[in-house]
Amino acid sequence: MGNHGFISAQWKLGHGITLFWGPPTRDEAVGDPFFLQFTPSPTKTQELSNANRLKVFINNGESGIILSEFFMITRYLESRVIDMTREARGPKEGDFITIKSYKHDGSLHRTWRDTMVLKTSENALIGVNDHTLVTEDDGRRWVTREPAIVYFHKHYWFNIVAMIRDNGVSYYCNLASPYVLDKEALKYIDYDLDVKVFPDGEKRLLDVDEYEDFSQRWHYGEETDRILKANVLTLVDWINHHKGPFSQAYVDLWYQRYQELLRRSH
- Chain segment 188-210, per-residue pLDDT in tens: 999 999 999 999 999 999 999 99
- Nearest Cα neighbor of 264 from 85, 116, 149, 121 is 116
- Chain segment 232-242, per-residue pLDDT in tens: 999 999 999 99
Which phi and psi angles does 85 have, rounded to 5°? -65, -45
Segment among 85-94, 100-109, 146-155 with least mean pLDDT: 85-94
> CA dihedral in degrees (219, 150, 134, 172; nearest 10)?
60
Question: What CA–CA distance (Å, rounded) separates 71 from 109?
Answer: 46
Question: Which pLDDT band, with edges at 50, 70 and 90, does 265 fall under?
Answer: confident
- Nearest Cα neighbor of 230 from 160, 157, 137 is 157
pLDDT cut 90: percent of the chain above it: 65
**CATH 2.40.160.50 corresponds to the domain 96-265:** no
Question: What CA–CA distance (Å, rounded) separates 190 from 225?
Answer: 13
Tell me the domain boundaries of the chain. 3-89, 96-265
Tell me whether strands 54-58 and 96-102 are parallel, antiparallel or unpaired. Answer: unpaired
Greatest mean pLDDT range, 62-76, 81-95, 153-167: 153-167
Which one from 110, 140, 226, 257 is the annotated catalytic residue?
Answer: 110
**83-105 mean pLDDT:** 83
Active site residue 110: yes
**pLDDT value, residue 266:** 72
- Chain segment 3-58, per-residue pLDDT in tens: 444 344 444 544 454 555 454 444 444 433 344 444 444 343 333 333 333 333 33
**60-75 mean pLDDT:** 47
Rounded to two decimals, the pTM is: 0.69
Q: Are 158 and 174 in contact (CB under 8 A)?
A: yes
Question: What CA–CA distance (Å, rounded) separates 40 from 47?
Answer: 10
Which phi and psi angles does 2 have, rounded to 5°? -85, -175
**pLDDT value, residue 87:** 56
**pLDDT value, residue 83:** 55
R_g (Cα) of the chain, nearest Å: 25
